[in-house]
């Protein structure tokens, strides 16, 4: 058990603003892809132990808040968020809900990601705003989507640092300190890294070493680490692939095995280990230094892409695998055979 988090954990991610409204339907209406008009729920929240919810961003005041712009247009995502919270808790009263700091730009006129959080005053303002937002919506934890951001500038794709900032280890420590002072509710801190760059005091790919990583070790600040073994986490620019994360446990982060979620991607057209490979990684014997430990679980990106039915089919299978529930062999075989096409 990681504090109050019961293992194993079948985690998943949901992106609030997808799908966008169709045919003029307002943002306060729940998409029929999520719940059919007859009430049938298409999101398998009953198979989720920890749900990562995005996008939360940095606002012009430097505070951690729910996104208010999509494609440059003002939106109110609160009705969708509140529906997700209510429905997920109805389907699984024990689910933990994490607000995720988004890694890139979703609109304009907001600061979006973390590079703007520098200097002591903005730093403290951001950290102190985290419990305010969690209390406002009744959420259980904070997650930092720790990856770079590719943006098209003057017709060319440019790789920006996104949330990969030197202050990240210190910021996580500060957020953990602030949340630990909350007495009315137990809150959690998580990070979803595609790289260990700037989280360890050594050069990784194009990023230099970072001494702050020694002063504020990430392993002491977070309850969970969702390693992105998919998409960006497999980028050639990233020197820390799957084996580096699971070999020298945590890619140099000195994590406990029970902090690690093995992240896979059931979204269409994305590189990722498949279901059996994720199960093997979860069951893989760990180094002697971690003998007797098991990973925290498996994280599925995500529940509401264009191939939503298949993503949720995968989530249910992962939940049953981790919690050792009865699984129909024919059904499992069918789900795994459709992995390459992601059910499309």
Q: Which among 37, 26, 132 is positioned nearest to 73, based on CA atoms?
A: 26
Write down the pLDDT at residue 60. Answer: 83
Measured CA to CA, the distance from residue 12 to residue 84 in angstroms comes to: 13
Measured CA to CA, the distance from residue 328 to residue 178 in angstroms comes to: 45
Q: Which tokens is 334 given?
A: 């069918």
Cis? peptide before 249, omega within 30° of 0: no
Measured CA to CA, the distance from residue 172 to residue 123 in angstroms comes to: 11
Dihedral sign for Cα atoms in the order 239, 227, 41, 311? positive
Q: Which tokens is 342 given?
A: 């992601």
Confidence of residue 113 (pLDDT cuts 50, 70, 90): low
Query: Which residues neighbour 214 within 8 Å (Cβ) at sequence distance 6 or greater?
Result: 201
Write down the pLDDT at residue 295. Answer: 86
Q: Is 100 exposed, middle or buried (0-12, 13-18, 19+ CB in 10 A)?
A: buried
* pTM summary value: 0.93
> pLDDT tens for residues 134-181?
999 999 999 999 988 877 788 888 888 888 888 899 999 999 999 999
H or E element at residue 272: none
- Which SS3 state, helix, strand or coil, does residue 38 take? coil
Percent of the chain with pLDDT over 70: 85
> pLDDT tens for residues 54-72?
999 988 888 999 998 887 7
**Structural class in CATH, domain 9-337:** alpha beta
Measured CA to CA, the distance from residue 43 to residue 320 in angstroms comes to: 16
- For all residues of the chain together, what is the average pLDDT? 86
Confidence of residue 192 (pLDDT cuts 50, 70, 90): very high
pLDDT at residue 121 is higher than 80: no
pLDDT at residue 258 is higher than 80: yes
In terms of DSSP bridges, do strands 50-58 and 9-15 run parallel, antiparallel, or are they unpaired? parallel
């Amino acid at each position: 058990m990681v504090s109050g988090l019961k293992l194993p954990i079948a985690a998943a991610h949901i992106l609030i603003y997808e799908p966008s409204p169709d045919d003029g339907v307002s943002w306060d209406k729940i998409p029929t892809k999520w719940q059919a008009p007859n009430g049938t729920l298409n999101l398998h929240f009953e198979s989720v132990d920890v749900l990562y919810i995005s996008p939360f961003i940095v606002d012009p005041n430097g505070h951690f808040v729910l996104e208010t712009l999509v494609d440059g247009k003002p939106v109110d995502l609160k009705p969708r968020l509140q529906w997700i919270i209510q429905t997920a808790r109805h389907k699984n009263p024990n689910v933990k809900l994490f607000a995720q700091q988004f890694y890139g730009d979703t609109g304009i006129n907001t600061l979006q990601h973390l590079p703007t959080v520098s200097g002591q005053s903005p730093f403290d303002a951001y950290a102190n705003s985290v419990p305010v937002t969690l209390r406002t919506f009744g959420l259980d934890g904070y997650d930092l989507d720790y990856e770079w951001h590719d943006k098209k500038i003057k017709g060319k794709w440019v790789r920006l640092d996104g949330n990969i900032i030197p202050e990240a280890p210190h910021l996580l420590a500060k957020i953990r300190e602030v949340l630990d002072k909350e007495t009315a509710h137990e809150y959690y801190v998580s990070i979803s890294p595609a790289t260990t760059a700037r989280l360890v005091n050594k050069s990784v790919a194009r990023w230099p070493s970072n001494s702050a990583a020694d002063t504020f070790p990430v392993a002491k600040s977070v309850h969970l680490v969702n390693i992105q073994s998919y998409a960006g986490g497999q980028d050639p620019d990233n020197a820390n692939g799957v084996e580096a994360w699971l070999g020298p446990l945590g890619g140099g982060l000195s994590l406990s095995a029970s902090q690690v979620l093995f992240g896979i991607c059931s979204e269409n057209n994305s590189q990722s280990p498949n279901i059996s490979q994720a199960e093997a990684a979860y069951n893989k014997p760990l180094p002697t230094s971690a003998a007797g430990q098991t990973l925290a679980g498996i994280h599925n990106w995500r529940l509401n892409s264009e191939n939503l039915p298949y993503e949720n089919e995968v989530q249910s299978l992962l939940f049953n695998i981790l919690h050792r529930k009865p699984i129909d062999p024919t059904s499992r075989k069918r789900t795994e055979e459709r992995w390459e096409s992601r059910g499309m």
